[in-house]
Amino acid sequence: MKVYEKAPAKINLSLDVLRKREDGYHEVEMVMTMIDLADRLEMRELPRDSIVISSQAGYIPLDEKNLAFQAAKLIKERYNVRQGVYIHLDKKIPVAAGLAGGSSDAAAALRGLNRLWNLNIPTDELQRLGAELGSDVPFCVTGGTAVARGRGEVLEPIPDPPQCWVVLAKPSINVSTADVYGRFRVNPALKPSTAGVTEAIRKGDFAAMCRSLGNALESVTLPLYPEVRQIKELMVRLGADGVLMSGSGPTVYALVQRESKVARLYNGLRGFCKEVYAVRLLTSTGGGAAD
């Protein structure tokens, strides 16, 4: 038997870092939503009891460092599954980009293996397992739009944002999430308004949502990598309605509602950056391409 799962990328519409905790993680408050840029996972039973990962992408680990491998190992151990699995990852989400590609693959593996092995694990338990794999995995288990607190695993679902285009540009630099959090210092003068974003979303007010976008981790990543700031500035010049770095970066996204602006942004960014994508938000009310 085979199962397939789509693993979409997330963007952070707001990301506030409240304080460093004693366990080394940071207490966050962020608004996350999914976009229609996704990896695809195929999961197939193996006759022997092992986990095998393959991918067309040459630049991700295929051993126990792969988050989909870790998800399979965790679920096998906890539910005493003696069957093996072959997982193929069709990678489309750029790696180490601030888009939670690995986390979404792990979440998709949890959902898919729950089906493949008929385990009937409830969603909240899949999220608890996900939290053992990474802070963004619980959100990726359900997707949608949510305020995430704690280290990212305490989730409050909220309505989807007003539908729009998302034009993303990933500069070819590698940013380590742990390094960015490690360098972060709380600055009350640079406090993103999670309440502003959620209020705008609840009112369906696209312009107010764009005005409220904010990411505290920009205070670390922008000074370290000037090209990230340059891309933000270019996006504004090219007519973006709202612009923000996602997660710890380095990907920057522009939100636009008018389709006529998308080609202008896409082409303008392509002159500056090799990896540029134009996609829709993945909302439940349509607009995101279904599988």
Ligand X SMILES: C[C@@](CO)(OP(=O)(O)O)[C@H](O)COP(=O)(O)OP(=O)(O)OC[C@H]1O[C@@H](n2ccc(N)nc2=O)[C@H](O)[C@@H]1O
Q: Which stretch binds ligand X (CB under 6 A): 58-66, 117-125, 130-138, 194-202?
A: 130-138
Which of 6, 91, 151, 170: binder of ligand X (CB under 6 A)? 151
Query: Between 98 and 192, whose beta carbon lies closer to ligand ADP?
Result: 98
Say how far apart CA 200 and CA 51 lie, in whole Å: 44
Instruction: Verify binding: residue 177, ligand X, rule CB under 6 A.
Output: yes
Q: Is beta strand 154-157 parallel, antiparallel or unpaired with respect to 145-149?
A: antiparallel
The gap from C-alpha 112 to its chain's centroid, in whole angstroms, comes to: 18
Q: Which stretch binds ligand X (CB under 6 A): 161-169, 175-183, 225-233, 257-265?
A: 175-183
Which of 43, 75, 98, 139: binder of ligand ADP (CB under 6 A)? 98
Instruction: Verify binding: residue 67, ligand ADP, rule CB under 6 A.
Output: yes
Query: In the range 16-35, which residues lie near ligand X by CB under 6 A?
Result: 24-26, 28, 30
Q: Cβ(153)–Cβ(135) under 8 Å?
A: yes
Which contacts qualify for 203-206: CB closer than 8 Å, 24 or more apart?
A: 204/162, 205/162, 206/161, 206/162, 206/164, 206/241, 206/255, 206/257
Say how far apart CA 273 and CA 252 lie, in whole Å: 11
Residue where the block lists tokens 């909302």:
283
Please indicate whether residue 136 is annotated as part of the active site. Answer: yes
Binding residues for ATP: 94-104
Q: Smallest distance, Å, CB 206 to ligand X? A: 22
Instruction: Verify binding: residue 105, ligand ADP, rule CB under 6 A.
Output: yes
Say how far apart CA 279 and CA 35 lie, in whole Å: 7
Binding mask 235-274 for ligand ADP (x = CB under 6 A): ------------x---------------------------
Residues taking part in catalysis:
10, 136
